[in-house]
Structure 1
Amino acid sequence: MTARPPFDTLIAFEAVHRLGSVTAAASDLGITQSAVSHRLRRLEDFMGLPLLTRSSAGMRPTPAGEALASGLGELLAGLGELRARCRAAANNGPLRVGVSAALADYWLVARLPTFKAPSTPIELIIVESTAQAIHLDLDITIHWLLEGEARETSTQRVLFREQIFPVCHAGLLPSAPLDDPTRIAALPLIHKGAGAGANAGTEWSWSTWFARLGLHAPAPVGLRYANMATAIGAALQGSGVVLTRSLLAHDALIDGRLVRVLPETWDMPSSKVHLVRWPAVLASDARVKAFVAWLLDAANECVR
């Protein structure tokens, strides 16, 4: 019988190779750094060769490690589809959908009651955490990718192309949109991202918007939130003006909870698009087909 490397050692090696450090791999796997190092040593003992070396740029594979890594990603991806294969054969389990918290809270949840299965009822499980989605075997995932990375294939479809624009609570700007766009400088701004300058040069940067508006002063420092869902929540509470996307603001604009700060002519196209993706083994699954078709129709209703 052919000797097989311990599975947990392969998982540790893949994480270190992918992330470039034992620390990052430990965080990704939810184990200690010493546990990762121990698994790497076990794998090297099994192979009889060093697989990784430490450099100033982090952990780097040796030639033997690179040879292992070249086939390991495809192997683990295949193993990751085992649960999907079982569910596809049973064809009666719940459908697990991974989506960002912002898209779920401000767009998807309100529309889910309109989803009707073609025949038998479908139990839906919505996973809102990106971190959870990485580690769970999901049937459908909605990704937020650079447009150049988003292409349609047999296992994925482009869902929405959105515009970026500033919005705020109606009470903060009773006469919206602004007649003089430069007056936005007098309003409190809500920032999104890890820190100052994190989104510089993009459609999500207030500096970019100030430059477009001909405002030479730097954008004022204000409240900063790490994710879009919380930033929009702050705007809904009247905390300030936030840069948002078409779908996330759609319902709140319709019912008047949010208003546009600038005329639509100032909108900027998003550099990212939403992409819905599913495992190849579920390509012919009636539940997946039904949900994806419904998702596309729901998105089209909002962009007409």
Structure 2
Amino acid sequence: MKMRNLPPLNALKMFEAVARNSSFSLAAEELCITHSAVSHQIKLLESWMGVKLLQRHSHGATLTPAGQILFTTCVQLFNSLENCINDIQQKPINHGITLGAPSSFMANWLISRIESFEEKYPEIQIKLMTSNDFKLLENEQIDLQILSLNRQVQLKSDLVKIHLFKDKIGPVLSSEKAHNITQPSDLLTQTLLHTESNKNAWSFWATQHQVKLNEAKNQRYFDHLNLMLEAAANGLGIAIAPEILVEKQILNGQLIAPFGFTDSDAEFTLCLKQNCLKNSNLQTFIEWIQYQVSID
């Protein structure tokens, strides 16, 4: 019988705690163990994975692109496991909020802000689940769903959508690549990077800027937006990405947007069931996220 190819599960538990708290010290305090024990387990996990998962710095810890992908999966699996255990033990489940969103949105926008909600409303537990469509919302496995939706999309009658912000997109690349890029057509001399989550992004942008995409030198595809952005930052090509999801990389100089960002035909939208509109916890979260959008 073939054994599962899984890393040490205790190390995964500690990794999730560090990533959620953005701190080794806070994770150690939460788990009631020493800082060095947490650090040892993270090193063990990174050695097993063969990739760096966390960047340590004086203010705590931040996730690498690989770490962001693993953290998103851990959150989803731990949430499911916790719910399963509660069901088996017949314990009442805390009436919190389960929020679904694409992993790229959670990693690049939501997770860095969610701590402020938890600090302000400690009585409302937030659970995050990776979700790229409405299935979980329609089946009432989650309470809220965030997606980038075409403005013309019509939802089912029992669903409500709340606009968050426009989904502006644009090419992003490393500073080394930027020297030879002075006009949109210059992009075709480089490898264009795509992500499976938005296969039409390049064609939409190219049409808006009168660029013939079929003349591109080369094209490469990635399963996850974060991997595509990491490739762009390392000079492997030019990515196309939503402005809201590359703000950090642009601010820290990892990426450059030579032509800015263009309104796409989509917008980031928060969706929920009509019959949940009066739920006080959901209303609290909706007001909080609308405020976060307004101050960005």
| Closer/same/farther in 2, CA of residues 228 and 260 from structure 1, 3 Å limit | same
Question: Matches of 1:148 and 1:103 in 2, distance apart?
Answer: 21
Partners of 1:210 and 1:219 within 8 A in 2? no
| Closer/same/farther in 2, CA of residues 282 and 300 from structure 1, 3 Å limit | same
1:171 deviation in Å?
Answer: 4.1
**Alignment partner of 2:246: what SS?**
helix
Partners of 1:103 and 1:248 within 8 A in 2? yes
TM-score, scaled relative to structure 2: 0.57
Runs of 4+ in structure 1 deviating by more than 4 angstroms, as ranges, are 116-120, 213-217
Question: What residue identity is the alignment partner of 2:281?
Answer: R
Is 1:288 equivalent to 2:282 in the alignment?
A: yes
Match of 1:161 among 155, 160, 166: 166
| Closer/same/farther in 2, CA of residues 133 and 189 from structure 1, 3 Å limit | same
| Closer/same/farther in 2, CA of residues 235 and 136 from structure 1, 3 Å limit | farther
Match of 1:183 among 183, 186, 208: 186
Partners of 1:140 and 1:276 within 8 A in 2? yes
Match of 2:202 among 201, 204, 216: 204
| Closer/same/farther in 2, CA of residues 204 and 299 from structure 1, 3 Å limit | farther
Corresponding residue for residue 51 of structure 2 = none
Per-residue CA shift, 1:123-182, capped at 9, x if unaligned?
Answer: 11110133783666111111222102268x994311111211100133433x59x43443
Corresponding residue for residue 132 of structure 2 = 130
Is 1:219 equivalent to 2:207 in the alignment?
A: no
Partners of 1:117 and 1:290 within 8 A in 2? no
Match of 1:231 among 206, 223, 228: 228
Partners of 2:188 and 2:215 within 8 A in 1? no
Q: Please, which runs of 5 or more residues in structure 1 have no aligned partner?
A: 1-89
Question: Matches of 2:213 and 2:120 in 1, distance apart?
Answer: 56
**Alignment partner of 2:248: what SS?**
helix
Question: Matches of 2:213 and 2:101 in 1, distance apart?
Answer: 38
Match of 2:267 among 265, 273, 297: 273
Percent identity (aligned): 16
| Closer/same/farther in 2, CA of residues 171 and 294 from structure 1, 3 Å limit | farther
Tell me how large the CA RMSD over aligned residues is: 3.5
Corresponding residue for residue 146 of structure 2 = 142
Residues paired across the two proteins, number: 203
1:274 deviation in Å?
Answer: 1.6
**Alignment partner of 2:218: what SS?**
coil
1:239-258 residue pairs with structure 2 within 5 A? 239-258=236-255
**Alignment partner of 1:149: what SS?**
coil
Question: What residue identity is the alignment partner of 1:149?
Answer: V
Question: What residue identity is the alignment partner of 2:287?
Answer: A
Question: Matches of 2:213 and 2:276 in 1, distance apart?
Answer: 53
Question: What residue identity is the alignment partner of 1:160?
Answer: F
**Alignment partner of 1:277: what SS?**
strand
Question: What residue identity is the alignment partner of 1:163?
Answer: K
Question: Matches of 2:213 and 2:283 in 1, distance apart?
Answer: 50
Partners of 1:107 and 1:251 within 8 A in 2? no
Corresponding residue for residue 51 of structure 1 = none
Match of 1:108 among 105, 110, 113: 110
Question: Matches of 2:252 and 2:105 in 1, distance apart?
Answer: 18
| Closer/same/farther in 2, CA of residues 112 and 210 from structure 1, 3 Å limit | same
Is 1:260 equivalent to 2:257 in the alignment?
A: yes
| Closer/same/farther in 2, CA of residues 247 and 298 from structure 1, 3 Å limit | same
**Alignment partner of 2:167: what SS?**
strand
**Alignment partner of 2:171: what SS?**
strand
Q: Please, which runs of 5 or more residues in structure 2 have no aligned partner?
A: 1-91
Question: Matches of 1:150 and 1:300 in 2, distance apart?
Answer: 25
Match of 2:195 among 167, 192, 195: 192
Per-residue CA shift, 1:174-224, capped at 9, x if unaligned?
Answer: x59x43443323332212349xxx95xx54328x62883556861222221
Question: Matches of 2:267 and 2:213 in 1, distance apart?
Answer: 31
